């Protein structure tokens, strides 16, 4: 039960204040609910505003009928006619209420002495004398079995000898009551000690009840003042970032790579030591090579090895991965010795995903996100036949799922071996060469202009950026040189975003792709062409490249969209928070509104 009074004396309306996009009370409610510890969670309030706020956010609220002196009275009224054993009181202004603390207060009722306990509460050790002597901080002392002896605003015990070895505990306002104890509190009048200290739980002691205390280290943040709110907002931002993007990354890199024109011939040698008895290698090959006997013959299938041709016309889908895995596991009793992906970003991503799903249960859609993969993938090799995406080095495999387009981002995603043979990219059609090459150029621009940039990303990004300029703008390079350089640019571009993030063009291109099925490379080009406002000089360079190679960038792709489609596009793009944060900084939401994004899309 979360007692929630609208008119707090020190900070009126505080429970309705904004905390990272949600009201304080909704955050508290969801924090309690998300612990999964309770059969039911209710907010008990005197205010229609708070009731509506909770109900509009899918929660349950109860209006208290009477005016109450305290939160305990308020929840007592609400549970009077409910059939419950234990009632936990969570403060409405503690939005960071943690599962750990609540679990501790509930665990008290599982101990040997549970039957002697009327209620349980939490305390935390403090050692700063300023806090110990602060009357706003309620101290508690207990007996050897952790039953509360007294609560006070004075320092207790009083240290006559200043060097005495004594611990001080601060009381935290989380309680778990047996229902009878709570109802007693409600009915029994206040006595003198409670009245003089103005500490509710002294009433229990004055009526001879037993309060068991548990020690917690969980740090809550109470919102008592506008300054607390500012601090809480700051904390929340920090937490959010830590969870995905701004902690120090500890990522795996491809452990083995072979490079050079013709090195593809070395594949059988590379595979031999990895071959396990009766376990085939499965080659997933772009079907553009179906009639390319030269390439197919060089694969040198052995024993029960299997070759599967796959079209790259559509971007990979989770359902497609599940289907492939089913096909492989139903044909072979033994897990494959390895999966070899041969093709562009599409085939490389399919190979990574299949190798993961051969050792992890369920559907590929279950693993879209960060670090959801639990088991090491089957040995997998990536052999790019077109350069630019960086998929050969990246820690992700981008999939279109039933509800989202999102990568399986994990330590098990990267290839165990990559074969970089620039000759394999010989047959790539010119437009496609340009679009996929520009994916690399745009990775560099977004990484180098992003707020997440550090020396690690910069060192890779700058090299790849310069290579792209050489390849796409200068005359001097031969075709063979250009192929080799683009292959390395792709690699470096991928490494650059491994420790930073992409930006505006990728966020918007994901929106296009989700709604219109626009492919990654061309989608990026369509978008980037209109992004002078964000990447001014680089858009000029890009346009020069387009002109030099006489490439056509489609225009007007959003002209005939329905409002619904446009809204969905905007929603998908804006949901990619880390990309916007990298591109525009912490205040990105004020710089990129849905209206602004709409105007940009309509230009494309
Ligand atoms: P692609 O794999 O879709 O291939 C593009 C076209 O080029 C296809 O028609 C293909 O058949 C053809 N092609 C490939 N090699 C050829 C060759 N040697 N000769 C003739 N034709 C050839 O293109 P892409 O741009 O490399 O990859 C795009 C995909 O990569 C998207 O699905 C995107 O989501 C993904 N991607 C992944 C990452 C990652 O880090 N995992 C990064 C960027 C993009
Ligand atoms: Zn990309």
Q: In a mutational test of the pocket of ligand 1, which residue from 346, 350, 364, 384 has the highest number of ligand atoms less than 8 Å from its CB?
A: 346
DSSP code for 256 = E
Give the separation between CA 76 and CA 603, rounded to whole angstroms: 60
- Reduced to 3 states, what is the DSSP secondary structure of residue 263? helix
pLDDT number for residue 302: 92
pLDDT at 360 over 80: yes
Task: Provide the pLDDT confidence category of residue 239 given band limits of 50, 70 and 90.
Answer: low
pLDDT at 156 over 60: yes
Q: Burial, 412: exposed, middle or buried (Cβ in 10 Å; 0-12, 13-18, 19+)?
A: buried
pLDDT number for residue 277: 92
pLDDT number for residue 88: 96
pLDDT number for residue 97: 81
- Note whether 43 and 92 are within 8 A (CB): yes
Report the first-to-last Cα separation within the chain, whole angstroms: 52
> Counting ligands in written order, which one lies closest to the CA of residue 439?
2
Q: In a mutational test of the pocket of ligand 1, which residue from 253, 286, 401 has the highest number of ligand atoms less than 8 Å from its CB?
A: 286
Alpha helices in 11-142 (DSSP H): 24-34, 48-56, 71-79, 99-107, 129-132
Phi, psi of 467 (to 5 degrees): -60, -45
What average pLDDT does the segment 144-169 reach? 92
C-alpha 389 – ligand 2 centre gap (Å) = 5
> Counting ligands in written order, which one lies closest to the CA of residue 414?
1
- Note whether 146 and 114 are within 8 A (CB): no
Q: State how beta strands 168-178 and 338-343 pair.
A: unpaired
pLDDT at 244 over 60: no
Q: Of 173, 162, 163, whose CA–CA distance to 136 is shortest?
A: 173
pLDDT number for residue 248: 82
What average pLDDT does the segment 215-219 reach? 80
Q: In a mutational test of the pocket of ligand 1, which residue from 354, 391, 434, 506 has the highest number of ligand atoms less than 8 Å from its CB?
A: 391
> Counting ligands in written order, which one lies closest to the CA of residue 390?
1
Q: Which two tokens stand for residue 48?
A: 């229609």
pLDDT digits (tens, 9 = 90+) for 383-428: 999 999 999 999 999 998 887 788 899 999 999 999 999 999 999 9
Task: Provide the pLDDT confidence category of residue 250 given band limits of 50, 70 and 90.
Answer: confident
What secondary structure, in 3-state letters, does 73-86 show?
A: HHHHHHHCCCCCCE
Residue nearest to atom 21 of ligand 1 (CA): 428
Q: Which two tokens stand for residue 111?
A: 């101990």
Task: Provide the pLDDT confidence category of residue 545 given band limits of 50, 70 and 90.
Answer: very high
What average pLDDT does the segment 246-269 reach? 91
The atom of ligand 1 lying closest to the CA of 311 is 11
Phi, psi of 47 (to 5 degrees): -125, 130
More confident site: 260 or 251: 260
- Reduced to 3 states, what is the DSSP secondary structure of residue 387? coil
DSSP code for 493 = H
Q: Of 357, 273, 291, 361, whose CA–CA distance to 320 is shortest?
A: 357
pLDDT number for residue 234: 83
- Could you check whether the bond before residue 157 is cis, i.e. omega within 30 degrees of 0? yes
C-alpha 274 – ligand 2 centre gap (Å) = 31
pLDDT digits (tens, 9 = 90+) for 300-357: 999 999 999 999 999 999 999 999 999 999 999 999 999 999 999 999 999 999 999 9
C-alpha distances (whole Å) from 277 to each of 9, 113, 360 are 75, 60, 22
Residue nearest to atom 44 of ligand 1 (CA): 389
Q: Of 349, 356, 402, 394, whose CA–CA distance to 375 is shortest?
A: 356
Residues having CB within 6 Å of any atom of ligand 1? 286, 288, 312, 315-316, 343-347, 349, 385-386, 388-391, 394, 396-398, 424-425, 427-428, 432, 436, 439, 520-521
Task: Provide the pLDDT confidence category of residue 178 given band limits of 50, 70 and 90.
Answer: very high
pLDDT number for residue 68: 80
pLDDT number for residue 20: 82
pLDDT number for residue 7: 81
C-alpha 391 – ligand 2 centre gap (Å) = 9
pLDDT at 155 over 60: yes
Residue nearest to atom 24 of ligand 1 (CA): 345
Task: Provide the pLDDT confidence category of residue 35 given band limits of 50, 70 and 90.
Answer: confident
pLDDT at 10 over 90: no
Contacts for 532 with CB less than 8 Å, ≥ 6 apart: 539, 540
- Note whether 395 and 251 are within 8 A (CB): yes
The atom of ligand 1 lying closest to the CA of 405 is 34
pLDDT at 166 over 80: yes
C-alpha 589 – ligand 2 centre gap (Å) = 23
Q: In a mutational test of the pocket of ligand 1, which residue from 344, 487, 572 has the highest number of ligand atoms less than 8 Å from its CB?
A: 344
How many CB atoms sit inside 10 A of residue 8's CB? 15
- Counting residues of the chain whose pLDDT is more than 90, the rounded percentage is 77
Please report how many Cα atoms fall inside a 13 Å half-sphere around the Cα of residue 353, on the Cβ side.
Answer: 36
More confident site: 212 or 99: 212
- Note whether 509 and 518 are within 8 A (CB): yes
What is the average pLDDT score of the chain? 92
Residue nearest to atom 2 of ligand 1 (CA): 344
pLDDT number for residue 240: 58
C-alpha 237 – ligand 2 centre gap (Å) = 27
Give the separation between CA 356 and CA 316, rounded to whole angstroms: 15
pLDDT at 454 over 60: yes
Q: Of 423, 324, 339, whose CA–CA distance to 381 is shortest?
A: 339
């Amino acid at each position: 039960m979360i007692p929630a009074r609208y008119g707090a004396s020190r900070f009126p309306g505080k429970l309705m204040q904004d905390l990272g996009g949600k009201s304080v009370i909704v955050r508290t409610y969801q924090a309690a609910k998300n612990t999964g510890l309770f059969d039911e969670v209710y907010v008990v309030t005197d205010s229609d505003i708070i009731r509506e706020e909770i109900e509009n956010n899918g929660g349950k609220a109860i209006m208290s009928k009477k005016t109450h002196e305290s939160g305990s009275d308020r929840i007592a009224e609400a549970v009077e006619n409910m059939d419950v054993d234990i009632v936990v009181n969570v403060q409405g202004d503690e939005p960071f209420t943690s599962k750990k603390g609540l679990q501790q207060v509930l665990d008290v009722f599982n101990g040997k002495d549970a039957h002697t306990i009327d209620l349980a509460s939490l305390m935390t050790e403090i050692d700063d004398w300023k806090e110990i002597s602060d009357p706003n901080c309620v101290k508690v002392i207990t007996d050897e079995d952790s039953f509360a002896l007294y609560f006070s605003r004075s320092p207790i015990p009083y240290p006559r000898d200043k060097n005495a070895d004594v611990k001080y505990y601060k009381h935290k306002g989380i309680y778990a009551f047996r229902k009878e104890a709570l109802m007693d509190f409600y009915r029994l009048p206040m006595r003198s000690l409670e009245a003089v200290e103005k500490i509710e739980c002294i009433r229990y002691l004055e009526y001879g009840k037993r309060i068991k205390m548990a020690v917690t280290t969980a740090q809550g943040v109470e919102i008592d003042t506008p300054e607390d709110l500012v601090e809480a907002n700051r904390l929340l931002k920090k937490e959010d970032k830590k969870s995905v993007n701004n902690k120090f990354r500890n990522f795996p890199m491809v452990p083995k790579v072979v490079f050079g024109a013709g090195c593809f011939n070395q594949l059988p040698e590379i595979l031999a030591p990895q071959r396990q008895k009766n376990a085939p290698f499965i080659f997933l090959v772009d079907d553009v090579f179906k009639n390319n006997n030269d390439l197919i013959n060089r694969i040198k299938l052995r024993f029960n090895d299997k070759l599967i041709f796959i079209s790259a016309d559509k971007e990979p889908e989770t359902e497609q991965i599940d289907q492939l895995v089913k096909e492989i596991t139903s044909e072979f009793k033994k897990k494959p010795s390895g999966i070899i992906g041969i093709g562009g970003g599409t085939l490389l991503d399919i190979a990574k995903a299949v190798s993961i799903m051969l050792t992890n249960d369920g559907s590929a859609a279950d693993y879209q996100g960060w670090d959801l993969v639990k088991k090491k993938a089957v040995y997998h090799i990536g052999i790019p036949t077109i350069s630019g995406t960086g998929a050969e080095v990246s820690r992700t495999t981008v999939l279109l799922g039933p509800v989202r387009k999102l990568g399986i981002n994990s330590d098990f995603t990267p290839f165990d071996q990559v074969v970089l043979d620039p000759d394999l990219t010989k047959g790539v059609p010119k437009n496609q060469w340009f679009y996929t090459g520009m994916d690399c150029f745009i990775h560099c621009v977004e990484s180098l202009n992003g707020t997440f940039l550090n020396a690690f990303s910069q060192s890779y990004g700058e090299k790849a950026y310069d290579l792209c300029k050489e390849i796409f703008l200068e005359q001097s390079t031969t075709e063979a040189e250009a192929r080799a350089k683009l292959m390395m640019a792709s690699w470096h571009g991928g490494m650059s975003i491994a420790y930073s993030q992409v930006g505006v063009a990728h966020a918007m291109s994901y929106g296009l792709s989700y709604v219109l099925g626009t492919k990654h490379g061309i989608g990026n080009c369509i978008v980037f062409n209109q992004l002078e406002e964000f990447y001014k000089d680089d858009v000029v360079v890009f346009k020069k490249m387009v002109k030099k190679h006489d490439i056509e960038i489609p225009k007007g792709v959003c002209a005939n969209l329905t409002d619904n489609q446009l809204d969905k596009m905007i929603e998908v793009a804006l949901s990619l928070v880390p990309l916007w944060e990298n591109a525009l900084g912490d205040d990105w939401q004020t710089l990129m509104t849905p209206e602004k994004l709409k105007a940009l899309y309509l230009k494309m």
